[in-house]
């Protein structure tokens, strides 16, 4: 979708402006500032490391650049044992990706020690990581498919904005994998009734978007955006509105999982809130229904399925 592309470009520019420092081998570690943080502990006096660098920055992310794609299990394991609360929280989230590592018990032991932390965010991240490591998933942060075969989730649940990656655990394959693509601060994951499609709600402070994806590949099942179909029907004027702040959300999957009801909200050129519902048919790869609501003054009230509507 257009907003995804714009925001991804911004993230790339931000990442390129981050500080860098050398790490073992051909791997370079970049620390990029981030708006959200939790309270920090003192860095301490031990030899300076990449984790000490992150603690000094007080908030941020670490990205690893390496053509060899090194095993970072031990790096994040070291971070989990760091005295800084932000570092512990960050490394704990990153360590989740290694829940099937041959030495996973080392991670479990290290993560369990975080349960006694005085920082609630660290404790929350540790509990979340242990759910993944132990294949429990007994928490509202995890979205189970109706058939029980897959679980979808994202990391950094304690942050206002997360890393935009969706992870899937497949119980039949006993495999954990990230979906291809990023969705800029995921807010909701909702399965279709057949468990073969996944709705991803994501967005920022003033806007929200949606994608329907294949839970195996992560490829989008939406051939065009809600904005495209509204423009085609020439329903509203948003040419002069510099900040339409569109907000798209899933209302409901159809019982047979072939269609999705999506809602839209945005400001038109007259500063009126425009809202409505569209139906996307995955079999036709097209929007088959557009139901505009009366314009209003109240910004973005929640939209539910119309009374009397039947699939």
pLDDT value for 296? 78
Q: Per-residue confidence of the chain (311 residues) as pLDDT tens digits?
A: 433 333 333 332 223 223 222 223 334 455 555 544 444 444 444 445 778 878 877 666 666 555 555 678 998 999 999 999 999 999 999 999 999 999 999 999 999 999 999 999 999 999 999 999 999 998 999 999 999 999 999 999 888 788 889 999 999 999 999 999 889 889 999 999 999 999 999 988 778 999 999 999 899 999 988 888 888 887 777 766 656 678 899 999 999 999 999 999 888 888 788 899 999 999 999 999 999 988 877 766 788 999 999 99
Q: Which of 282, 148, 155, 168 is nearest to 217 (CA)?
A: 168
> How far is residue 85's CA from residue 39's CA, in Å, rounded to a whole number?
7
pLDDT value for 48? 54
Residue 189 near residue 179 (C-beta atoms within 8 A): no
What does the chain come to in residues?
311
Using left for φ > 0, alpha for ψ between -120 and 50, and beta otherwise, residue 266 falls in beta
| Element (DSSP H or E) covering residue 6 | helix 2-16
Q: What is the CATH number of domain 136-220?
A: 2.40.128.650
Measured in whole angstroms, the distance separating CA 240 from the mean position of its chain's CA atoms is 31
DSSP 186: E
Mean pLDDT of the residues in the chain: 81
Map residue 166 onto helix, strand or coil: coil
Helices (H), 153-264: 226-232
Domain boundaries, the chain: 1-134, 136-220, 222-311
């Amino acid at each position: 979708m257009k907003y995804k592309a714009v925001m991804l470009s911004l993230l790339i520019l931000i990442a390129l402006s981050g500080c860098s420092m050398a790490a073992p081998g051909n791997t370079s570690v970049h620390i990029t500032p981030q708006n959200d943080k939790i309270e920090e502990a003192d860095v301490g006096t031990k030899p300076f490391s990449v984790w000490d660098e992150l603690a000094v920055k007080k908030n941020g992310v670490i990205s690893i650049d390496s053509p060899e794609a090194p095993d970072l299990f031990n790096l994040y394991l070291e971070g989990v044992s760091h005295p800084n609360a932000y570092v512990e929280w960050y490394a704990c989230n990153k360590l989740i990706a290694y829940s099937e590592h041959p030495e996973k018990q080392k991670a479990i032991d290290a993560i369990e020690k975080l349960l006694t932390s005085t920082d609630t965010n660290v404790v929350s991240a540790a509990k979340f990581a242990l759910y993944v490591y132990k294949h429990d998933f007994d928490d509202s942060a995890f979205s189970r498919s109706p058939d029980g075969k897959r679980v979808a989730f994202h990391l950094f649940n304690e942050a206002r904005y997360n890393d935009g990656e969706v992870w899937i655990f497949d119980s039949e394959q006993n495999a954990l994998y990230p979906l291809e693509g990023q969705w800029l601060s995921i807010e909701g994951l909702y399965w279709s009734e057949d468990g073969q499609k996944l709705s991803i709600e994501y967005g920022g402070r003033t806007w929200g978007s949606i994608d329907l994806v294949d839970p195996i590949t992560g490829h989008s099942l939406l051939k065009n955006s809600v904005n495209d179909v509204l423009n085609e029907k020439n329903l509203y004027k948003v040419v002069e509105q510099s900040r339409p702040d569109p907000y798209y959300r899933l209302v409901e999957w159809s019982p047979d999982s072939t269609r999705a009801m999506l809602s839209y909200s945005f400001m038109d050129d007259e500063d009126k809130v425009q809202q409505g519902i569209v139906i996307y048919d995955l079999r036709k790869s097209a929007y088959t229904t557009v139901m505009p609501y009366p314009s209003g003054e109240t910004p973005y009230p929640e939209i539910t399925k119309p009374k009397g509507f039947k699939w």
